[in-house]
Amino acid sequence: MGDKVKVGIAKFIHDGNFARAEFDVGPDIMENNGLYGLLDEMGVEVTETRTATLTEDDEKEYGTIYRLGLASGHMSEIVSSQIRRNDFSLALISNCIGLMGVLGGVQKSGDGQPLRVGLLYFDAHADINTPETTRSGLMGGMPVASSIGLCFHRLRRQAGLEVPLATKYVTYVGVREVDALEYEILDNSDIEYITVDDVKTMSSTIREQMDRLSSVTDLIYIHIDTDVLNPGEMPGHTTPEPNGFTSEELADCLEVMCSYQNVACLGVASMPTEGDPEGASIRAFHNMVEGAIKGLKSR
């Protein structure tokens, strides 16, 4: 990528949760607390910052899922345009329901047919429930299922993800909380895994999975739900899980992953919006970004 890394920032603020407000301030928190200074110090040129927003006509529409699909479609356009001009896309996302729009942008960033997209999914949870298996009913537990074509097909297509991901294109990282009915889905898939211990020890599994995904896909998207970290680094997170890894350990892993030429986008989701007066979550986020940029600069 050369000495000067070019990064486009894409923000997805739609919440998609029936029980809360439609918009989330997490992406703004990530953007407006030292991110630009960090990138500048690392010699990064930020080419643009764009937010996926509903158009005037979109605003006339109703229905949480339908509006989420429209917003996701706009996100896919932002991400795809950034990748087409050879920028690395940094996606700041409300929560994991933003997955499909980013994947859609990566998939359609080529010149012709939809690209084969690899997904590295960092999350404490599998997020592969469907409307038939979910116990909570929350869409935040279903984005992987939708992205691999198990549910919400219209929403997926609205998000620009025309072709669902083959399960062999997916690698979970740090997953440690799986619902009982999710195991049935996982056991019948070709999804592979990088464990918490793999990240802690920087095991050979990391490069093995990067090599595997690179061999079967055209571009790779790295998606991070911040609950993959130890809860102490993300105070205020709504779905904390114990026994994760540190942001420094995650940064080392991202440095390796982002050194691969076909990694086109990094997305960070679910930044705590309250309950963190000491700013631990922002420091952890900056560690992630720093690791990723080091990897990009080593290409």
Q: What pLDDT is stored for residue 132 in this prediction?
A: 96
Please list, in sequence order, all residues whose beta carbon lies within 8 angstroms of the beta carbon of residue 14, skipping any fewer than 6 positions away.
Answer: 22, 23, 24, 52, 67, 68, 71, 72, 94, 97, 98
Q: Report the DSSP pairing between strands 44-52 and 5-12.
A: parallel
pTM across the whole model? 0.97
Which CATH homologous superfamily contains domain 5-297?
A: Ureohydrolase domain (3.40.800.10)
Domain boundary assignment for the chain: 5-297
Please name which of 73, 72, 83 lies closest in space to residue 106, comparing C-alpha atoms. 83
Q: What angle do helix axes 64-84 and 99-107 make, rounded to 10 degrees?
A: 40
Least Cα distance to 173 among 190, 191, 189, 196 occurs for: 196
Give per-10-residue mean pLDDT for the chain (299 aa): 84 76 88 98 98 92 90 98 98 97 98 96 98 92 98 97 98 97 97 98 98 98 98 95 98 98 98 94 98 98
Give the three-class secondary structure for 223: strand
Please report the DSSP string for 79-134 in residue order. Answer: HHHHHHTTPEEEEEESSGGGHHHHHHHHHT-SSSSPPPEEEEEE-SB-----TTT-
